[in-house]
Structure 1
Amino acid sequence: MKKSNNKYTVTAAFPYANGPIHIGHLAGVYLPADIFVRYLRRKKKEVIFICGSDEHGVPITIQAKKENTTPKEIVNKYHFMIKDCFENFGIHFDNYSRTSTVIHQKISTSFFKKLHKEKKIFEKVSEQYYDNQAKQFLADRYIYGICPHCKHKEAYGDQCESCGSSLSPEELINPLSTISGSNPVLKKTKHWYFPLNEYQNFLEKWILMDHQKDWKVNVYGQAKSWLDQGLQPRAITRDLDWGIPIPKEIGKVLYVWFEATIGYISSTIEWAKRKKKDWKPYWKDQRTKLIQFIGKDNIVFHCIIFPAVLKAYNQGYILPDKILANEFLNLENEKISTSRNWGVWVHEYLRDFPNQQDTLRYILIANMPEKKDNNFNWKDFQKTNNTELVAILGNFVNRSLTLIQKYNNGIIPHPGIFSITDKSILKKIRKYPENIGDLIESFRFREALVCFMDLARLGNKYLTEEEPWNIKKTEQRIETILYVSLQIVGMLAQLAELFLPYTANKLLKMLRLEAYFWNKIENVKEFLCPGHVLGKSTLLFNKITDKSVEKQLEKLGKSDL
């Protein structure tokens, strides 16, 4: 009998180490991945959560020029900044690596060598733009010009950020070098190409047949669009000094999108060596599920190029079971822009709003752009915090704990006879884990959060309608109401960890409870037994003031990195 799946390899897209991470990164990739991994761990699934910094490619060298320093200094600066932000935001990877490690260079080079030896890549001489003043070939991002589609004046050689069109440098009108500002000339250069066209049939079967019904619409649609256009050979090397060098070649490096996705494998191997474990079951066991969380601008690399490379390498690697990409999150109805400093940078948020990670986590999950672009604005941030986290969740917990302290010295009372309402509430509570679990397994994280908050709303409504403070209530009735209320608080404490880990820790400490595994959450008869003594209570959330929001609005567009 075939053993059922019990292993998951969950990867989150490697952020570029050319700047700090912002709220768009969190809402698009890292929070959905974090919620899913937290849920798997509560389900007692064996899961590794893999990420790392993408430290090669043109954005790194461009940033180094801007900051008048070296690419190595840039990646060191931002790698540690990004890593600290994830840690302080409650996103804990099993391994957070970087593509400048020796192990990554070894693994990615071994892919190139094997494909080269087996003639699965080929050399081709082509003409590429060259800057005579800077004396170097220009990668896509080192060229800008007029977009042939929307006529935007500063479209890059790979993409127009105004209309979103994918471009090649040759399509630009009046191309210019970003290094010298001069007109580049076409010059012959040799590169290695991966024949993607040879994997068209394989990818069509894998994507269009095997995953037509279980992939997100945006991911499937974009992958299908590439296949419909017909795949073409794609260069896997670049004329650059910064990157993983091609063996026996000077001034040639692996194209970042050939080697960066291999980083998931090298990061796993790094983790396995540290833990003295075998990494192969996480990448070569057909029972293991590979789930990848990415940005929508990375869909082609994860759905087309990476799977084709794994197929060509032919060493038994599993293919992704799911590839999840959200849409974009805008800020104050405008696209987040690093160059204009139009963003909410996570390291600055952590500094400006100490111990309020969960406030931002909540707002970003509630506004997660799962199906279409969404928007973050500071006034909504304030309103949502004050009217939902403070007035609903915080208020219900505070009322319940204050009342039990007043009427029963902070001890869970013995309930009397349950009313029809009490029985209905206790029955409803037990359905929440299953409902939330189903939504998370369907990758509907916003709805899962709404479901969680509905439980707090249910508690508030119950307390308001039952009025345990009413002097006409008997002592036994008051104790029954408080008992029921605290069962709701107990369930909230267990479920909160998926979305609001810092709040969950506070709440569990106040209740003197430990975190349960999912099976126990679904089946436990009561979270807080009569006679259980509660701990010291504190407020879960604080109101966000007009002043703090105005300060953030004033910062937008000003350089503070």
Structure 2
Amino acid sequence: EACGALFRPEAMLDPHPRMGDSPLHWVEVESLFLTVAHPEQLLQRMATSGAPASVVEVIARFLERENGRVRLTAPGEWGVAWSPDRFGNPRVLFESGWEYALTCADRSQEQAPEHGHAMLRSSEVTTLVSFGIDNAVLLLAGSVAVMDALQDHRSFDYVLTNYFYNLQGAKFSTSRLHVVWAADIVEKTPATSDAVRYFLSRESPEQGETNFAVEEFVEVVNVDLAGALDGRIDLALAALDHTRPQSIDPALWPALELAVTRLGQAFRLDAVSVREAWDVLHQWMQRPDLDVTQPAHAYLWLKGMAYLAAPIMPRLAEYLWQRLGHDGLPLIQALRAASQPRPQTSARPRFAPLSPAALAPCLPVSVVLAGATSDA
């Protein structure tokens, strides 16, 4: 599944029953396939929709190996039933991505009928689908081919793909309970949602597998966030001038303008990169050329922090934006607008220092036991 390809029963070596030693009973079953009319055009559309070259290559290999055919039905009874074959064998729909697409569009039309059906060729709605490498063939080759074959419909405009994310070196798996649940890590440990989002953005598996290492997460929170960032925010807030409205010094604006441009590029629909957005924020957090003990530099740095952190650390971003005298959430239109900083009226979101032991309540038993064994 890590390569994105489909399992082919004819490729099995020495097949045998999973239980018992009875001989296999072979059954001939007819399946339905769809021939991709224009494979080259499909691959080109994948490339322009945001799929990385490595994922497009997966689709190219699949189409070549399968002679441009996409499976539509599979033998069995589990799934959405299709008519039995001519031998009476039950079949189900195999390629379900297009069904999900049409269902999403139906639900959207129910909620906002003025926008019409999002998956029609005539629609002006922009659609995006996100999935992992193990669903690449199903959602790119299969769904796109089916939607293209439907006379009045179209596939998703953009795709957001990812590779596997590991936990302590082994794949996240809900079936094996080798997971960290989002609610648990922020409700049962001192870790904040902003800290978790910051680390996950840094580790986003966009071009290959990445890993959630407990010790590394603890170090990033303690050094980058609870240490350096919290300390710099304290200095900058203390340096703000609360007596009059302020705006960004024109001489300092280019520094922030470049970062804002990079952040916008990180969220282009045809090239989304959460890692790039994290890198923009990370570099702004450090900015050695800004002396945050000076009011003008402090105002600029905090305003940049609020805007650049909004997609990654929204709680901190909203707090800083309001301390600067703005209301609501950070907006690009208000970056250059004057505002009068407000004195502190509520507790500032802080990053609590962590230890591996403090994360134990959110970790699967296997990880906790592994840590205990190594410590012993």
TM bin, normalised by shorter chain, reads: 0.7 to 0.9
* 1:152-211 Cα shifts (integer Å, max 9, x gaps): xxxxxxx6x7x9875333433443445x4555623436454123xx31x41222314884
Residue 385 of structure 1 and its aligned partner are, at CA, apart by 1.1
Asked if 1 retains the 8 angstrom alpha-carbon contact of 2:191 and 2:352, the reply is: no
Cα distance in 2, alignment partners of residues 382 and 290 from structure 1 = 37
* Residue of structure 2 in register with 1:497 after alignment: 310
Matches within 5 A, 1:353-432: 353=189, 356-404=192-240, 411=242, 413=244, 424-432=251-259
Asked if 2 retains the 8 angstrom alpha-carbon contact of 1:238 and 1:254, the reply is: yes
* Residue of structure 2 in register with 1:102 after alignment: none
Of residues 439-448 and 547-556 in structure 1, the stretch that sits farther from structure 2 once superposed is 547-556
Structure 1 position 246 matched with structure 2 position 75 = no
When the two chains are superposed, the root-mean-square deviation of aligned CA atoms in Å is 3.6
Q: 1:455 aligns with which of 267, 280, 284?
A: 284
* Residue of structure 2 in register with 1:259 after alignment: 96
Cα distance in 2, alignment partners of residues 415 and 325 from structure 1 = 42
Asked if 2 retains the 8 angstrom alpha-carbon contact of 1:452 and 1:492, the reply is: yes
Instruction: State the one-letter code of the partner of 2:231.
Output: N
* Residue of structure 2 in register with 1:528 after alignment: 339
Cα distance in 2, alignment partners of residues 385 and 184 from structure 1 = 57
Asked if 1 retains the 8 angstrom alpha-carbon contact of 2:322 and 2:328, the reply is: no
Q: 2:181 aligns with which of 334, 345, 349?
A: 345
Matches within 5 A, 1:152-551: 166-178=6-18, 180-183=19-22, 185-188=24-27, 190-195=29-34, 198-199=35-36, 201-208=37-44, 211=47, 215-229=51-65, 230-232=67-69, 234-240=71-77, 242-246=78-82, 252=90, 254-255=92-93, 257-281=94-118, 283-285=120-122, 287-314=124-151, 316-353=152-189, 356-404=192-240, 411=242, 413=244, 424-441=251-268, 442-458=271-287, 462-463=290-291, 468=293, 481-515=294-328, 519-521=332-334, 524-526=335-337, 528-529=339-340, 535-549=345-359
* Residue of structure 2 in register with 1:148 after alignment: none
Residue 374 of structure 1 and its aligned partner are, at CA, apart by 1.6
* Greater strand share, structure number: 1
Asked if 1 retains the 8 angstrom alpha-carbon contact of 2:186 and 2:193, the reply is: yes
Asked if 1 retains the 8 angstrom alpha-carbon contact of 2:102 and 2:119, the reply is: no
TM-score by length of 1: 0.56
TM-score by length of 2: 0.81
Instruction: State the one-letter code of the partner of 1:494.
Output: Y
Cα distance in 2, alignment partners of residues 338 and 182 from structure 1 = 31
* 1:440-484 Cα shifts (integer Å, max 9, x gaps): 2132221221112222212x76236xxx4xxxxxxxxxxxx2243
Asked if 1 retains the 8 angstrom alpha-carbon contact of 2:127 and 2:158, the reply is: yes
Asked if 2 retains the 8 angstrom alpha-carbon contact of 1:204 and 1:227, the reply is: no
Instruction: State the one-letter code of the partner of 1:393.
Output: L
Asked if 1 retains the 8 angstrom alpha-carbon contact of 2:281 and 2:308, the reply is: yes
Asked if 2 retains the 8 angstrom alpha-carbon contact of 1:491 and 1:527, the reply is: no
Instruction: State the one-letter code of the partner of 1:492.
Output: M
Cα distance in 2, alignment partners of residues 320 and 222 from structure 1 = 18
Residue 363 of structure 1 and its aligned partner are, at CA, apart by 0.7
Matches within 5 A, 1:50-89: none
Asked if 1 retains the 8 angstrom alpha-carbon contact of 2:84 and 2:91, the reply is: no
Partner SS, residue 267 of structure 2: helix
Instruction: State the one-letter code of the partner of 2:92.
Output: L
Residue 557 of structure 1 and its aligned partner are, at CA, apart by 5.1
Asked if 2 retains the 8 angstrom alpha-carbon contact of 1:390 and 1:542, the reply is: yes
Gaps of 5+ in 2: 370-376
Partner SS, residue 291 of structure 2: helix
Cα distance in 1, alignment partners of residues 184 and 330 from structure 2 = 34
Q: 1:169 to 1:398 in 2, by over 3 A?
A: same
Cα distance in 1, alignment partners of residues 138 and 278 from structure 2 = 30
Residue 365 of structure 1 and its aligned partner are, at CA, apart by 0.8
Residue 384 of structure 1 and its aligned partner are, at CA, apart by 0.8
Residue 221 of structure 1 and its aligned partner are, at CA, apart by 1.0
* Residue of structure 1 in register with 2:374 after alignment: none
Q: 1:184 to 1:278 in 2, by over 3 A?
A: farther
Matches within 5 A, 1:29-44: none
Q: 1:357 to 1:210 in 2, by over 3 A?
A: closer
Residue 515 of structure 1 and its aligned partner are, at CA, apart by 4.2
Cα distance in 1, alignment partners of residues 319 and 111 from structure 2 = 32
* Residue of structure 2 in register with 1:87 after alignment: none
Q: 1:363 to 1:532 in 2, by over 3 A?
A: closer
Partner SS, residue 353 of structure 2: coil
Instruction: State the one-letter code of the partner of 1:450.
Output: D
Q: 1:555 aligns with which of 365, 368, 374?
A: 365
Residue 526 of structure 1 and its aligned partner are, at CA, apart by 3.9
Residue 518 of structure 1 and its aligned partner are, at CA, apart by 5.2
Cα distance in 2, alignment partners of residues 317 and 270 from structure 1 = 16
Instruction: State the one-letter code of the partner of 1:202.
Output: H
